[in-house]
Every structure is written in structure tokens, then in C-alpha cells.
Amino acid sequence: MLIIAGLGNPGAKYAGNRHNVGFMAVDAIYRRHSFSPWSKKFKAEISEGELAGEKVLLIKPQTFMNLSGEAVGEAMRFYKLQPSDLVAIYDELDLPAGKTRLKTGGGHGGHNGIKSLDAHCGKEYRRLRIGIGHPGVKELVHNHVLGDFAKADNAWLEPLLDTLADNAEMLVRNEDSQLMNKLALALGSKADEEKPKSEKKPTGKSHIHQARNHGHQKLPATGPMAEMLKKMFGNKSD
């Protein structure tokens, strides 16, 4: 059995917050697959289903973020599960918006929900972090985390959650790197479209390297390369 725990805060007031992206992820998995109606147990909302032939429990702690581990720990003890049977999905300030990371164990990075999970569930569980970006200064972090996603965020948030839901079976099969590739590809095409069209314009760094090469390297005296370099830099050979 696998527990997939999405972290967030309960109630309509927090539903659209960046801090609630874990709830959003679990909701997306719930909608895409055949899970039982949500019920209340273990100080949480839970739903049971099956993915890749294995029983899966979706859980959304209702204890508020800082006490998430109380709910998840209670469920793990009830089912006699180990940390390796848990996947936690949550927001990450230190990742750019839309970037994801999945690994087993690690530090809490100042995330109070993860501190609580570590205390109640052990540390060697898988952690799927979803980047929400950093506002730039510490003073803005609180409002950023507890603020709603902007409309512009839907450009990456919706395809990310849809792709995670479509490929949730990979979490059960421990196909972590494959899942990360799927999530990256879901956003990659959008990112490519947003790149400026003037890709061939040299950057400042390229200009510096050109100047260095022109000033310090001997140029061929004859041949096609010499003719090309003369057109680019004139007739000087050093």
C-alpha cells in the first residue's frame, strides 16, 4: 500500500494558496482515477483507490500545515506502513515556479509541514516538491506562500497537475526519473514557445569571447578560414 499525502491548509480561505499546491496535486489524482468519495479519518480527508495494481490512500491532513505529520503518522501506524510507503507532495519556495524535484529523504528546508512529517513519520519517505518561486526578499515570503496563485500561473500549473495525475502510477512503480521527465516535458514545450525569437543574437559573453579570440590568437594566413575571418574582423592577423 502507498500513501500519497498532499500538504496544505483546510478551508475555502486557503484553497487557492500556493502553500496548498499539495492538496491540488492530490485532488488532480483523485479526479483522474477511480477513488472512493472523500471521507474523514486520521484527522484528515482520505480516499482509497488503486493505481498500477496497488492499493493507494490519498490523504489531505486537516490539522493545518504545521501539524501535517499528526494525520499522516496516524494513518501510517493504522496500516502498519514504513516511511518508504509514503509520498509527500508539497510546495517549494527554493524552486522556480513549475519546477519539480522528487527524492527520498533530505532536509525540511524550513518547511513546517515537512518538519512535522519528519517528526511523526520518519525521514526516509519520498518528497515531491513543486516549485512556487521565491518573491525575492524574506519579508514577502509569508504573503507569497499564503497568497493565491496568479492567473498567469495557470500556464504551468494546470499542465503540471494534469501530467502528474495522468502518470500517477509511476509513483507506485517507483519510476521517479521517468515521472520527472514527463513533468518537465509537459512544461518544456511551453517554455520553448516563450523564448525570444532572436535566438541567434550574440550574448554579451559571446562578444567578450570574440574579442579575446581576436586579440590573442593567430589567424590563418591563407585558405577559406582566413578569408572568412578577414570578412569578420578585417585584414589584421593578430
Q: Which residues participate in catalysis according to the annotation? A: 19
Q: List phi, psi (to 5°) of 214.
A: -70, -35
CA distance 179 to 24: 18
CA-based nearest residue to 57, from 157, 168, 182: 168
- Give the ranges where the chain is alpha helix by DSSP (H): 21-32, 68-78, 112-121, 141-145, 154-166, 169-172, 176-193, 204-216, 224-233
d(CA 215, CA 106): 49
Q: What are phi and psi of 12, to 5 degrees?
A: -60, -30
The set of cell numbers assigned to 213 is: 579570440
Contacts of 49 (CB under 8 A, 6+ apart): 30, 33, 34, 35, 36, 55, 56, 58
Instruction: Give the three-class secondary structure for 38.
Output: coil
